[in-house]
A and B are shown apart, each in its own frame.
Chain A
Amino acid sequence: METPELEKTKKELYSETSLCYQCGKCSAGCPVVEEMDVYPHIVIHLTSLGMEEKVFKTETPWICASCYACAVKCPNDIEIPNIMTRLKQMALERGLKPKRNDIYKFHKTFTDDILRRGKVHEFRIMIEYNLRLGKPFKNAMLGPKMLMKNKLHFTPPKAVKGFRNWIKQISPKD
């Protein structure tokens, strides 16, 4: 079932992406294009054709570093990374498993951590992310160096005053 919210998102997506005339400038200027399985301009094209289902099967929206290099270059002012973001959200809302679950898990770990105190605890995120990923030693070489330079802190930051109450106030997601 499509919620009215989702339908609105879809309409907006179609109307924004339909401005694209496939010049390819976005892909040409994308710093991580080599790592993507589908070029950004193709993602925009597929979306404009209402074929977002196809996009959900690609890694591109997850690889996108959200650097806006493409958006700055686009002659039609299409905010490509915002579209990538909405596509990710749509896929999640439909309950699809993210094509790059490792990257999704990081964002989720980060978000969950913010919800705890209103600020992130970088050290905890690193550990928790590795655990959720099942790779406890990912980036392990960097950890000790960062700790030594006092760049990572063992102890979490103080919770933001009133944050937990505020979270309860704002409309819950589901």
Chain B
Amino acid sequence: MNKDEIAIYPGCSLETSSSHYLQSIKTVFGVLQIPFREIADWNCCGATSVKSVDQHLNLMLSHKNLALAEKQGIRELVVPCASCYFRLVGAEYELNNDEKLLEKLNNESDLPYKGQVKVRNILDFFVNVVGLDHISKYVKNPLNGLKVACYYGCLNTRVPIEKAFDTREYPMSMDEIVKALGGEVVDWSYKTDCCGASLFVTVNTIAEKLVGKVLKDAGLRGVDCVAVSCPMCQTNLDTKQDSIRKKYPVEYPLPVAFITQLMGVAFGCSPADLGFKKNFVPLGSIYKTRSLKNS
């Protein structure tokens, strides 16, 4: 890997509601000796909203991000948010496979795109660029059998098949990372089920129902926490657990950790450097569970 060509596309939520994700990514990159760089002057990917209102603008927003990355010498654009990733990788695919479309969009803006940027999901990046061996080298405090349900949500794996980095219905990349950290992963049924984040604000009841199903299954498997790699999933699974647990049979409060927060724990980083304070269901119990299992 050429470290100078790697940059993160953080996306809007990592700057605000999920800044703990960004913080833990920075911390973990530091440990793994990967220089942390952000693509400069990026704009919002459009999420699920713009495409519902204006498809042209939707594609142009991604075109601009890709063109900017290219101009800045970035060849590996690492994207943590599943929704941003889905948009950007979809655009990469569409533009690389449709010359006419690319030409048309290039003519519209003074930022032409030549097709040299590879959009990478952060899980793909950790497993296939950084490598599990490299990750295990830095594990100081193994998770000691912490029982984890890896939740991928819907959009991480449902990209055009040629672009897929993992299987679409039962992915394992995040599970592999947790195993490399010394954690125990469970087989469960809701790995790639939608959490309804796009309806989080509009039709709250649907989102709650979907989250209820995911958490219920995880709880029944007796896991210590749920691991996620998407800020939408994290917010949706974490922030409303109180009210969701009143309506749906979720056994106990389930901490919802970003995969990078778990990596940080195993690397011996402090909770403050991993943004634990921003999680609604406290992540501290992870330490407790581990020490119980240690004894």
Contacts and interface: CB of A to CB of B under 8 A. Distances in A.
Contact of B61 (A85, A103, A108, A114): A114
B280 interface: yes
Contacts of A170: 56-57, 60, 108-109
Interface stretch (B47-55, B118-126, B216-224, B283-291): B47-55
Contact of B12 (A66, A119, A145, A173): A119
> Residue among B108, B155, B158 with the most chain A CB within 10 A?
B158
Contacts of B2: none
Interface stretch (B27-35, B138-146, B198-206, B256-264): B198-206
Nearest to B83: A66
Interface in B58-90: 60-61, 64
B111 interface: yes
Given A68-B158, A72-B158, A166 B109 contact: yes
B93 to A, nearest CB: 12
A129 B201 contact: yes
Contact of A89 (B49, B55, B210): B55
B41 A160 contact: yes
Contacts, number: 142
Interface string B265-289: 0000000000001101000000000
A102 B239 contact: no
Contacts of A102: 202-203
A11 interface: no
B223 to A, nearest CB: 21
Nearest to B19: A150
A32 B196 contact: yes
Interface string A65-81: 11111011000000000
A106 B155 contact: no
B272 to A, nearest CB: 14
B53 A107 contact: yes
B44 interface: yes
Contact of A108 (B48, B53, B155): B53
A170 B13 CA distance: 25
Contacts of A114: 43-44, 46, 50, 61
A66 B55 CA distance: 14
A95 interface: no
B52 A107 contact: yes
A139 B204 contact: yes
B43 A118 contact: yes
A151 B158 contact: no
Interface in B104-118: 108-111
Contact of B48 (A66, A151, A173): A66
Nearest to A32: B206
Contacts of A72: 158, 168-169
B198 A119 contact: no
A5 to B, nearest CB: 10
A161 interface: yes
Contact of B16 (A31, A139, A142, A152): A152
B17 interface: yes
A54 interface: no
Interface of A: 31-32, 35, 63, 65-69, 71-72, 85-86, 88-89, 92, 102-104, 106-108, 110-111, 114, 118-120, 122, 126, 129, 139, 142, 145-146, 149-153, 157, 160-163, 166, 169-171, 173
